[in-house]
Amino acid sequence: MSDFTSVTDADGVAVITWDVPGKSMNVMSMEAFNLLDRLVDAALADPAVKGVVITSAKKDFAGGMDLNVIARMREGGAQALFDGLMGMHGVLRKIERAGMDPKTLKGGKPIVAALPGTALGIGLELPLACHRIIAADNPKAKIGLPEILVGIFPGGGGTTRLARKMGAMMAAPFLLEGKLSDPKAAKAAGLIDDVVAPEDLLAKAKEWVLSAKDADLVKPWDAKGYKMPGGAPYHPAGFMTFVGANAMVMGKTMGVYPAAKALLSAVYEGALVPFDTALKIEARWFTNLLLNPSSTAMIRSLFINKEALEKGANRPKVPDQSVKKLGVIGAGMMGAGIAYVSANAGIEVVLIDAAQEAADRGKAHSADLLDKGMKRGKVTPEKKAEMLGRITATTDYAALAGCDLIVEAVFEDPKVKAEVTAKVEAVVGPDCIFATNTSTLPITGLAKASQRPEQFIGIHFFSPVDKMNLVEIIRGKATGDRAVAKALDFVRQIRKTPIVVNDARFFYANRCIIPYINEGIRMVAEGVEPVFIENAAKLVGMPLGPLQLVDETSIDLGVKIAKATKAATGEAYPDGAVDEVLFAMAGEGRLGRKANAGFYAYDVSGKREGLWEGLAAHWPVADAQSPLTDVEHRLLMIQALEAVRALEQGVLTDIREGDVGAILGWGFAPWSGGPFSWLDIIGAARAVEICDALTARHGDRFAAPELLREMAAKGESFYGRFAPAAKAA
């Protein structure tokens, strides 16, 4: 069995079929690409072949390049990488020219791509090199070039071809944002040429091959007098496009994502030269990008390791624990969200609250989300009815009989949680796993209320549940393997990404994010210009500045957490300066977005207007401001150090989880690949230097952990020391 096979039928059409053995989705490997090359050569050389159809035997065309291959490509260094890319361009260019005379542009063999379903990445770049792209009318199919989302750009000619086919402006959403379309939308946008009934796909493709004329095979950029749609950079309209695109990219990425810059450079420079030179420029920028540590780290965390965690990299070896019937206790903001994502995954849900009205309100949250989906045409009335039919909203604990997993999301109060635990255990079967969604209370303590502490676990969702993809699973001291497997299988069912951590104050995510917020607030107290704090955070790639973040999560929650932390840590409590600001804000009723007043000002409709002008009256801005790097280092290092301490203390047991969890959980500078990847990029020695400087200026909270010092002394990296298998990625 091989990835591609070619069969020529009686009418002289060679059908090259992509069907990677043993996989549900085709992904491209270098070997497969070489095989495709040979099959194309054979078809072009065979006088009996009039033309070629490239299609797939699977329900989809292809998911893209195997990113592990891309990760490995960089190992040979720049020249080998560039040569490999040029080899790939050569094959695709051969398909595009299809044996035609380069002068007369005559005599080529038509080659058409017939897409039964999804076609992503190289799965669209290959069709873009063909003479026509026909897709089956399959509304579930996704067509596009999502490379930018994992820190690279389409480097198989997709960038150059799409920019020339559509013009830079029209291609921008597909290249710069990785926008995906269903076949009809892809046709309307000009990504593909035709959409046909699925059963007619092959026949229509062959029909086109057999009727194509010489002129049908010539790409606009190979024809005489080609001009880039919308204008090349020195055309007045093109000039506007490129200036605008550059500003837009810088505005969106703050310049921290090398992929967007490299992509724009490839398009801009490519537009000024002939097509084959443009491909060479694309290959140069792609080489440059793949050798950039940011792209390495992004691919590793956002693709390879994220997928490994989703597939159960850290799942204990116990039989399948898929959830059939779920009980959710507490139908508030979190419980309602958990019920929605679970019912959406086909799980039967019993949603319990203390009052029927509250339970019904929780279920109504699902109805609201489904209504929104219907408005966008994504949900049918039948699907809505079916989904809502899976959720039983009640106050009756007896309805929990037969549940195999419970997720408790009642008030953050150990007494209430203990009562609920006992009430649930009185009605569920002996094998049922009990999970708490607490965000701050140690699991081991809460498990004391359980008769079966080995079946007691933390499953910590992030808000809003339907949007946030990370789920933090917390093992209490007594938690057994089956409970961990159950939690992981549940997270897989609801298609989110899990990390598994050990029990400690604030677990992992909150442990890192709270110091980030506190550092921002501390700077306000010190007189650092608040706008400077927020912008410095953005310039290191944080999606939200610390002051905006605390406004979103609410300042009274910050006060509550501060009080609880102070009670738990006593004399050693280090955040008095932060509390002064936090408590003063809360005292004035500036509780954040929900109160329409916080560190930011909001208009009556709740729109954020800018930082609150009253801040300066409370905390005057100092005459001398810190250098930008000092503020940037403080904001990033305070999080990264907490991650290192979590690893040192055994809260984290896998740095892959630390990195993936940081990006998905609280948006830690995605360009860096996560806190451990960031420390690896700058190197342990430089990290220690930064810590020493920050400690001297700002205090002991920046003291480098022993582990980091030891690694600096030995010249080690986190991925080298803790994840040798993941290092190659």
> Which residues participate in catalysis according to the annotation?
460
Tokens for 344, please give them.
């959406």
Tell me the C-alpha to C-alpha distance, in Å, between residue 706 and each of 506, 535, 645, 647, 652.
22, 31, 9, 12, 16
Shortest reach from residue 379's CB to ligand NAD, in Å: 24
Considering beta carbons, is residue 461 or 619 the nearer one to ligand NAD? 461
The yes or no reply on residue 352 touching ligand NAD (CB under 6 A) is yes
According to DSSP, residue 58 is labeled S
Considering beta carbons, is residue 213 or 415 the nearer one to ligand NAD? 415
Report which secondary-structure segment, H or E, holds 184.
Answer: helix 183-189
Q: Which stretch binds ligand NAD (CB under 6 A): 416-424, 522-530, 630-638, 681-689?
A: 416-424
The yes or no reply on residue 438 touching ligand NAD (CB under 6 A) is yes
The yes or no reply on residue 358 touching ligand NAD (CB under 6 A) is yes
According to DSSP, residue 453 is labeled G
Shortest reach from residue 508's CB to ligand NAD, in Å: 13
Q: Which stretch binds ligand NAD (CB under 6 A): 141-149, 348-356, 380-388, 701-709?
A: 348-356
Considering beta carbons, is residue 73 or 435 the nearer one to ligand NAD? 435
Biggest alpha carbon–alpha carbon distance for the chain: 87
For residues 656-670, b (16+ Cβ closer than 10 Å) or e, as one string?
A: bbbbbbbbbbbebbb
The yes or no reply on residue 437 touching ligand NAD (CB under 6 A) is yes
- Site residues for ligand NAD, 70-109, by CB under 6 A, read none
Considering beta carbons, is residue 153 or 668 the nearer one to ligand NAD? 668
Is the distance from CB of 143 to CB of 192 less than 8 angstroms?
yes
CB atoms within 10 A of CB 568: 12
The yes or no reply on residue 445 touching ligand NAD (CB under 6 A) is no
Tell me the C-alpha to C-alpha distance, in Å, between residue 142 and each of 60, 117, 297.
9, 7, 26
Helices (H), 649-683: 655-666, 675-682
- Site residues for ligand NAD, 515-554, by CB under 6 A, read none
Tell me the C-alpha to C-alpha distance, in Å, between residue 591 and each of 522, 533, 547, 581, 618.
17, 20, 12, 12, 16
Residues in the chain: 729
Pick from 69, 354, 418, 577: which binds ligand NAD (CB under 6 A)? 354
Is the distance from CB of 521 to CB of 582 less than 8 angstroms?
yes
Those residues with Cβ within 8 angstroms of residue 405's Cβ, 6 or more apart along the chain or in another chain: 323, 325, 326, 327, 432, 433, 435, 486, 490
Pick from 91, 205, 410, 470: which binds ligand NAD (CB under 6 A)? 410
The yes or no reply on residue 120 touching ligand NAD (CB under 6 A) is no
Report which secondary-structure segment, H or E, holds 298.
Answer: helix 293-299
Pick from 41, 411, 429, 568: which binds ligand NAD (CB under 6 A)? 411
Helix (H, G, I), strand (E, B) or coil at 171: helix
Shortest reach from residue 465's CB to ligand NAD, in Å: 8
User: How far is 388 from 336, CA to CA, in rounded Å?
Assistant: 12
State the amino acid at position 319 in one-letter form.
Answer: P
Those residues with Cβ within 8 angstroms of residue 495's Cβ, 6 or more apart along the chain or in another chain: 345
Q: Looking at the DSSP assignment, which residues form a beta bridge with residue 597?
A: 592, 601
Considering beta carbons, is residue 219 or 505 the nearer one to ligand NAD? 505
Considering beta carbons, is residue 242 or 462 the nearer one to ligand NAD? 462
Pick from 331, 391, 638, 726: which binds ligand NAD (CB under 6 A)? 331
Considering beta carbons, is residue 13 or 474 the nearer one to ligand NAD? 474
Shortest reach from residue 668's CB to ligand NAD, in Å: 18
User: How far is 95 from 89, CA to CA, in rounded Å?
Assistant: 10
The yes or no reply on residue 353 touching ligand NAD (CB under 6 A) is yes
Pick from 133, 334, 459, 582: which binds ligand NAD (CB under 6 A)? 334
Shortest reach from residue 477's CB to ligand NAD, in Å: 20
Considering beta carbons, is residue 136 or 403 the nearer one to ligand NAD? 403
Pick from 44, 343, 409, 523: which binds ligand NAD (CB under 6 A)? 409
Pick from 157, 330, 498, 515: which binds ligand NAD (CB under 6 A)? 330
Shortest reach from residue 437's CB to ligand NAD, in Å: 4
Shortest reach from residue 560's CB to ligand NAD, in Å: 10
Q: Which stretch binds ligand NAD (CB under 6 A): 140-148, 300-308, 309-317, 331-339?
A: 331-339
Considering beta carbons, is residue 332 or 445 the nearer one to ligand NAD? 332
Q: Which stretch binds ligand NAD (CB under 6 A): 75-83, 325-333, 584-592, 594-602?
A: 325-333
The yes or no reply on residue 458 touching ligand NAD (CB under 6 A) is no
The yes or no reply on residue 374 touching ligand NAD (CB under 6 A) is no
User: How far is 281 from 275, CA to CA, in rounded Å?
Assistant: 10
Pick from 61, 286, 461, 668: which binds ligand NAD (CB under 6 A)? 461
Pick from 100, 416, 682, 693: which binds ligand NAD (CB under 6 A)? 416
Tell me the C-alpha to C-alpha distance, in Å, between residue 569 and each of 412, 455, 562.
19, 29, 10
Tokens for 500, please give them.
């598994």
Tokens for 242, please give them.
């490129």
State the amino acid at position 445 in one-letter form.
Answer: G
Pick from 230, 335, 541, 673: which binds ligand NAD (CB under 6 A)? 335
User: How far is 600 from 609, CA to CA, in rounded Å?
Assistant: 7
Nearest to 675 by CA among 542, 553, 548: 542
Please give the residue whose beta carbon sits closest to ligand NAD in the complex. Answer: 332
Q: Which stretch binds ligand NAD (CB under 6 A): 132-140, 234-242, 305-313, 351-359?
A: 351-359
Q: Which stretch binds ligand NAD (CB under 6 A): 330-338, 399-407, 451-459, 624-632?
A: 330-338
| One-character DSSP codes across 264-281 | HHHHHHHTTS-HHHHHHH
According to DSSP, residue 517 is labeled H
The yes or no reply on residue 332 touching ligand NAD (CB under 6 A) is yes
Q: How many residues bind ligand NAD (CB under 6 A)?
A: 24
User: How far is 551 from 23, CA to CA, in rounded Å?
Assistant: 46
How far the first Cα of the chain sits from its last, in Å, is 28
Shortest reach from residue 426's CB to ligand NAD, in Å: 13
Nearest to 16 by CA among 664, 29, 35, 196: 35
The residue ranges that bind ligand NAD (CB under 6 A) are 329-335, 352-354, 358, 409-412, 416, 419-420, 437-439, 460-461, 463
